[in-house]
Amino acid sequence: MENKKEALDKLKKEMEDDKELPLYGQANLVFGEGNSEAEVMFIGEAPGFHEDKFMRPFVGQAGKLLDKLFVLINWPRESVYITNIVKRRPPENRDPLPEEIEAYKSYLKKQIQVINPKIIATLGRFSMNYFLPDFKISQSHGKGVILRGKIIYPLYHPAAALRATAILKELEADFKKLPTLLKNYDNVKAEAKIE
């Protein structure tokens, strides 16, 4: 049987060949990277300039902060999986359009299905609202929500934390809760009585 790594490689190839995807031909595919067996998946919004250039998620300024946050909790970056909702850079880093989010959805869904993480940590409001449409980031960050057997854990976007020290403090505090959240995953799930 195909393992997770092979399934992800196949999915990436499918995406590369899908000419119907918005932003095809305008920007590089930034599929995602990390441990295909990861228990925690981090999902951002869309690639920026550096991500497009290197075809890797979170390698610019926001990515450098993300790297520091992983150091803070002693999680090697390679132990998790990192990707975005929209997998090509929107021009001038504009917000992803609803139709772009929709078009990339089936691939993200498959990517999540393959990895099957326990926790999905969303970075920023676009990613949070993908899973939890009516939630507000200021109220919901750092509070896990169970959805279809996984914990959705909303986090501020690291780029927002780079702009405001108060947000950075919140993001650090929320990050520090991740190891315990993962350790307690089964209990949290059982308490919520969700399969």
CB-nearer residue toward ligand URA: 34 or 60: 60
Among 27, 29, 46, 108, binds ligand URA (CB under 6 A): 46
**Shortest distance in whole angstroms from residue 42 CB to ligand URA:** 9
Q: Residues 34, 47, 90, 144: which binds ligand URA (CB under 6 A)?
A: 47
Residues contacting residue 59 through CB under 8 Å, at least 6 positions apart: 50, 51
Under the phi-then-psi rule, with left for phi > 0, alpha for psi from -120 to 50, and beta for the rest, what region is 92?
left
Member of 34, 48, 117, 154 binding ligand URA (CB under 6 A)? 48
Is residue 23 a contact residue for ligand URA (CB under 6 A)? no
Closest approach of Cβ 60 to ligand URA, in Å? 6
Q: Phi and psi dihedrals of 78, rounded to 5?
A: -70, -10
Burial 170-189 (b: 16+ CB within 10 A, else e): bbbebbeebeebbeebeebb
Rg from Cα positions in the chain: 16
Cβ atoms of 48 and 21 within 8 Å: the answer is: no
Which residue number, 36 or 84, has a Cβ lying nearer to ligand URA?
A: 84
Cβ-based nearer residue to ligand URA, 46 or 80: 46
Position among 27, 36, 40, 57 found at the interface with ligand URA (CB under 6 A): 57
Provide the minimum distance between the beta carbon of 57 and ligand URA in the complex, in angstroms, as a whole number. Answer: 4
Residue nearest to ligand URA (CB): 44
Least distance in angstroms from the C-beta of 116 to ligand URA = 22
Q: Which two tokens stand for residue 114?
A: 């393959």
Phi, psi of 122 (to 5 degrees): -90, 140
As a whole number of angstroms, the distance between CA 168 and CA 101 comes to: 27
For 32: left if phi > 0, alpha if psi spans -120 to 50, otherwise beta; the answer is: left
Selected range binding ligand URA among 44-52, 109-117, 148-156, 161-169, rule: CB under 6 A = 44-52
Binding to ligand URA (CB under 6 A) within 82-141 occurs at 84
**Binding stretches for ligand URA (CB under 6 A):** 44-48, 51, 57-58, 60, 62, 84
